[in-house]
Amino acid sequence: MPAPTKRDVRRSVQQTGWVTLEGGFAARECVVHDLSTTGAKLTVSDSSVLSGRVRLAFSRDASKGRKCQVVWRRGRSFGVKFVK
């Protein structure tokens, strides 16, 4: 039986962030609720436009953000894991 894995510690940040669709240039404002070394929980006004890969930044300059993979959705909230 594999050993249970511990989740990375998430810290509450409640900070404005910006998500950009992969290959896109229009940043959408979001709220970053919590953050860990491996991912984050976000809320956007319209999550239906977000698909598989996005870039998360803490400024409108998405080139400084981190590449992410959407791993779950619940209404306007979604979780991402950071990818290379």
User: pLDDT for 8-65, tens place per residue?
Assistant: 788 898 999 999 887 777 888 999 999 999 999 999 987 766 778 999 999 887 678 8
Q: How far apart are CA 63 and CA 48, in angstroms?
A: 23
- DSSP classification of residue 38: S
Instruction: Check residue 52 and give its pLDDT.
Output: 87
| Structural domain spans, the chain | 12-82
**Tokens, residue 35:** 């953050």
Alpha carbon dihedral 68, 69, 71, 72, in 10-degree steps, equals 70
Instruction: Check residue 33 and give its pLDDT.
Output: 97
Q: How far apart are CA 54 and CA 22, in angstroms?
A: 5
